[in-house]
């Protein structure tokens, strides 16, 4: 059989963001892959070094829409680590709530797109409609459907009064029912299983070799979650389990994401009940000394690391972040080879790539 | 397969999930971050809002007689940092999200305000008056002495302070 090369992307109907794949194919099979990135580079790292610490909270929130809360909260954590600021306990719980609300919405978005790619558009719409509950929650509690603007240096900018706590609790109860139903659908529905089971398999050895993180790693049986390994905010006081699957295929990654969404709902409810009263933010402007610091968190796509270096002024000397998609997209080479050309979009979507975060 | 048919029928009976906007009302929660309002009488001219604004949407211009505040809604990201750091709540985000406009109106999408400067009771130099709102934040209640101090410029206040100290020593 003769082999040929086909381009996939950078603009492709089934890819959510621009990325270019040069695919070597033999008949229907992918035999080789070359990835070219750089289509949505916007120079945000350089921009961050021209703006002060406060302005960068808003800037980092605009790196990406789906994990928009993970960026400013990790950035603020880096600043707080550097200045030895201990944020109020209530703020720690409020940060968890913001992060988990975004996780539910982000994971549901990815699982919905899975439905769209396999041609099951009524499933896509149903999952998106369920996600709409989370969008309304975000809009009601934070005032915006995507960018929560929850963080500030030394705490959070929002608070939950009794009425809002009650509203949040009720909406989470609503989500539970929907999420259980959706999870059962993905596990049992024959259309979903036919297209996703055994597709895009990433073995545990390869997962370790590519150092993948997040649901991609956990879908291949790697028990790694920053929230558990090096807890930040209030995660050390919350009760939850790391969700893993051993199959390493597209379906396993979707199942991990859905179970994490279910668990996020429980985490939010735990926070609402456990949260102590008190201030939500330090009340004096922070003093940031010269030095360097690192902070990491578990974004919906995996481990997110921020590196910050300061020189005593109020503008960072260097701000750099490593996003989960950076490791995950390299593993596509292992996932795609041996699979069909028609599954490329499905497998690419299964790592939930965030190109705009990675290329900034 | 069958389980999804059940969901389909249920969703069909429930009817559309979308709001009928613009022909009907849509969902606007309390606390939505929309159009910014500036209250000049509460502004103390600390310029923290200008400092934290990521989009560079806020600008202050000071002349001999006034301090002018301008905010461009087209540069604003509605992050609310200005509101968070404004101690006197002179700047607030309202729930008004009706911000669509024609291209020719783009420079008119601003929020402006003017803080008139007032003369210092001691030396007469013009200064930004201390807003009532700041007095409420700083002191629970004020008396005549504090009220006189607030009408003095920092230099005159310092001089008066030193005199007070000297009186105590005597």
Give the nearest chain B residue to A167 (CA atoms): B29
Give the nearest chain A residue to B26 (CA atoms): A136
Q: Is residue B2 within 8 angstroms of chain A, CB to CB? A: no
Provide the sign of the torsion angle of the four alpha carbons A140, B38, A52, B109, taken in this order: positive
In whole angstroms, give the CA distance from residue A124 to residue A56: 35
Question: Is residue A103 situated within a structural domain?
Answer: yes
Pick from A59, A157, A189: CB nearest B4: A189
Q: Is residue B81 within 8 angstroms of chain A, CB to CB? A: yes
Mean pLDDT (whole number) for A327-343: 89
What pLDDT does residue B168 have? 61
**DSSP codes, A95-113:** HHHHHHHHHHHHHHHHHHH
Question: Is residue A38 situated within a structural domain?
Answer: no
State the count of interchain CB pairs (< 8 A) between A and B.
Answer: 75
Indicate yes or no: CB of B4 within 8 angstroms of CB of A123: yes
> Cβ contacts (< 8 Å) between A55 and chain B: which residues?
52-54
The CATH number linked to A153 is 1.10.645.10
Question: Are A79 and A283 spatial neighbours (Cβ–Cβ below 8 Å)?
Answer: no
Helix residue ranges, H only, A197-340 = 204-209, 214-219, 226-229, 250-274, 325-328, 332-336
Question: Is residue A150 situated within a structural domain?
Answer: yes
Question: Is residue B152 situated within a structural domain?
Answer: yes
pLDDT band at A1 (very low <50, low <70, confident <90, very high): low
**What domain count does chain A have?**
1
Question: Is residue B16 situated within a structural domain?
Answer: no
For chain B, the three-class secondary structure string (H helix, E strand, C coil) is CHHHHHHHHHHHHHCCCCCCCCCCCCCCCCCCCCCEEECHHHCCCCCHHHHHCCCCCEEEEECCCEEEEEEECCCCCCCCHHHHHCCCCCEEECCCCCCCCCHHHHHHCEEEEEEECEECCCCCCEECCCCHHHHHHHCCCCCHHHHHHHCCCHHHHHHHHHHHHHHHHC
Long-range contact set of residues B95-103: C-beta below 8 Å, sequence gap at least 24: B95/B28, B95/B29, B95/B30, B95/B31, B95/B32, B95/B34, B96/B34, B96/B35, B97/B28, B97/B32, B97/B34, B97/B35, B98/B35, B99/B34, B99/B35, B99/B73
Question: Is residue B15 situated within a structural domain?
Answer: no
Indicate yes or no: CB of B84 within 8 angstroms of CB of A152: yes
Indicate yes or no: CB of B52 within 8 angstroms of CB of A55: yes
Question: Is residue A338 situated within a structural domain?
Answer: no
In whole angstroms, give the CA distance from residue A342 to residue A13: 13
pLDDT band at B26 (very low <50, low <70, confident <90, very high): confident
Tens-place pLDDT, residues A230-286: 999 899 999 999 999 998 999 999 999 999 999 999 999 999 999 999 899 988 888
Indicate yes or no: CB of A58 within 8 angstroms of CB of B78: no
Question: Is residue B69 situated within a structural domain?
Answer: yes
Question: Are A324 and A214 spatial neighbours (Cβ–Cβ below 8 Å)?
Answer: yes
What is the domain extent for residue A228? 43-323
Question: Is residue B160 situated within a structural domain?
Answer: yes
Q: Is residue A153 within 8 angstroms of chain B, CB to CB? A: no
pLDDT for residue B23 is more than 60: yes
In whole angstroms, give the CA distance from residue B130 to residue A262: 52
Question: Is residue A214 situated within a structural domain?
Answer: yes
Pick from A129, A132, A157: CB nearest B80: A157
| SS3 call for A294 | strand
Question: Is residue B1 situated within a structural domain?
Answer: no
In whole angstroms, give the CA distance from residue A77 to residue A239: 22
pLDDT band at A97 (very low <50, low <70, confident <90, very high): very high
What is the domain extent for residue B68? 29-169
The CATH number linked to B110 is 3.30.70
* Mean pLDDT over the full length of chain A: 91
pLDDT band at B167 (very low <50, low <70, confident <90, very high): low
What pLDDT does residue B166 have? 66
Give the nearest chain B residue to A157 (CA atoms): B84
Angle B2-14/A121-142 helices, nearest 10 degrees?
Answer: 50
Question: Are A82 and A316 spatial neighbours (Cβ–Cβ below 8 Å)?
Answer: no
Tens-place pLDDT, residues A170-209: 999 999 999 999 999 999 888 888 889 889 899 999 999 9
- CA proximity to A112, closest of A182, A190, A188, A194: A182
Question: Is residue A345 situated within a structural domain?
Answer: no
**What domain count does chain B have?**
1
Q: Is residue A149 within 8 angstroms of chain B, CB to CB? A: yes
Q: Tokens in use for A256?
A: 């991990």
What pLDDT does residue A71 have? 94
**CA separation, residue B66 to residues B61, B101, B113, B129, B151 (Å):** 8, 30, 10, 10, 16
> Cβ contacts (< 8 Å) between B27 and chain A: which residues?
136, 139
Question: Is residue A138 situated within a structural domain?
Answer: yes
Indicate yes or no: CB of A157 within 8 angstroms of CB of B84: yes
B residues 15-74 lying closer than 8 A (beta carbon) to A: 17, 27, 29-33, 51-55
Give the nearest chain B residue to A140 (CA atoms): B29
What pLDDT does residue B145 have? 79
Give the nearest chain A residue to B57 (CA atoms): A55
Tens-place pLDDT, residues A23-39: 999 988 999 888 888 88
Q: Tokens in use for A205?
A: 């050895």
CB neighbours of residue A197 within 10 Å: 13
Indicate yes or no: CB of A149 within 8 angstroms of CB of B53: no
What pLDDT does residue B169 have? 60
* Mean pLDDT over the full length of chain B: 87
Question: Is residue A276 situated within a structural domain?
Answer: yes
């Amino acid at each position: 059989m003769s082999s040929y090369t086909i381009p996939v992307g950078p603009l492709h109907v089934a890819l959510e963001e621009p990325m270019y794949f040069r695919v070597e194919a033999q008949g229907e099979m992918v035999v080789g892959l070359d990835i070219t990135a750089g289509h949505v580079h916007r120079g945000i790292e350089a921009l961050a070094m021209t703006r002060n610490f406060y302005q960068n909270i808003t800037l980092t929130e605009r790196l990406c829409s789906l994990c928009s809360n993970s960026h400013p909260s990790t950035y603020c954590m880096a600043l707080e680590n550097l200045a030895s600021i201990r944020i109020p306990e209530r703020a720690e719980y409020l940060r968890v709530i913001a992060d988990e609300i975004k996780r539910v919405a982000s994971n549901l978005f990815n699982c919905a797109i899975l439905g769209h790619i396999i041609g099951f558009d009524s499933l896509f719409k149903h999952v998106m409609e369920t996600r709409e509950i989370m969008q309304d929650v975000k809009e009601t509690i934070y005032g915006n459907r995507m960018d929560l603007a929850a963080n500030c240096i030394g705490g959070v900018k929002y608070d939950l009064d009794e009425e809002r706590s009650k509203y949040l609790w009720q909406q989470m109860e609503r989500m539970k029912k929907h999420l259980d139903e959706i999870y059962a659908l993905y596990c049992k529905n024959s259309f979903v299983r036919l297209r996703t089971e055994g597709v895009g398999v990433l073995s545990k050895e390869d997962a370790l070799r590519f150092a993948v993180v997040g649901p991609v790693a956990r879908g291949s049986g790697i028990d790694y979650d920053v929230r558990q390994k090096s807890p930040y905010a209030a995660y050390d006081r919350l009760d939850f389990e790391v969700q893993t699957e051993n199959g390493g295929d597209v379906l396993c990654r979707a199942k991990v994401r859905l179970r994490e969404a279910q668990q996020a709902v429980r985490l939010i409810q735990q926070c609402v009940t456990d949260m102590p009263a008190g201030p939500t933010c330090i009340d004096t402007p922070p003093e940031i000394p010269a030095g360097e610091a690192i902070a990491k968190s578990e974004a919906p796509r995996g481990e997110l690391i921020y590196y910050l270096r300061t020189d005593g002024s109020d503008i960072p000397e260097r701000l750099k972040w490593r996003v989960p998609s950076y490791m995950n997209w390299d593993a596509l080479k292992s996932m795609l080879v041996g699979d069909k050309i028609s599954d490329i979009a499905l497998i690419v979507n299964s790592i939930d790539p965030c190109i705009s975060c990675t290329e900034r | 397969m069958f389980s999804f048919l059940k969901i389909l029928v249920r969703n069909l009976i429930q009817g559309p999930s979308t709001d009928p906007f613009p022909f009907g009302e849509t969902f606007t929660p309390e606390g939505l971050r929309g159009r910014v309002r500036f209250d000049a009488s509460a502004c103390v001219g600390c310029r923290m809002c200008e400092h934290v604004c990521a989009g560079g949407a806020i600008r202050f211009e000071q002349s001999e007689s006034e301090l002018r505040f301008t905010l461009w809604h087209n540069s604003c990201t509605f992050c609310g940092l200005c509101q968070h750091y404004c101690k006197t709540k002179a700047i607030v985000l309202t729930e008004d999200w009706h911000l669509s406009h024609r291209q020719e109106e783009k420079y008119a999408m601003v929020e402006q305000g003017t803080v008139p400067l007032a003369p210092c009771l001691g030396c007469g130099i013009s200064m930004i008056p201390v807003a009532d709102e700041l007095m409420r934040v700083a002191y629970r209640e004020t008396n005549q002495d504090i009220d006189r101090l607030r009408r003095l410029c920092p230099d005159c206040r310092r001089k008066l302070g030193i005199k007070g100290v000297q009186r105590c020593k005597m």
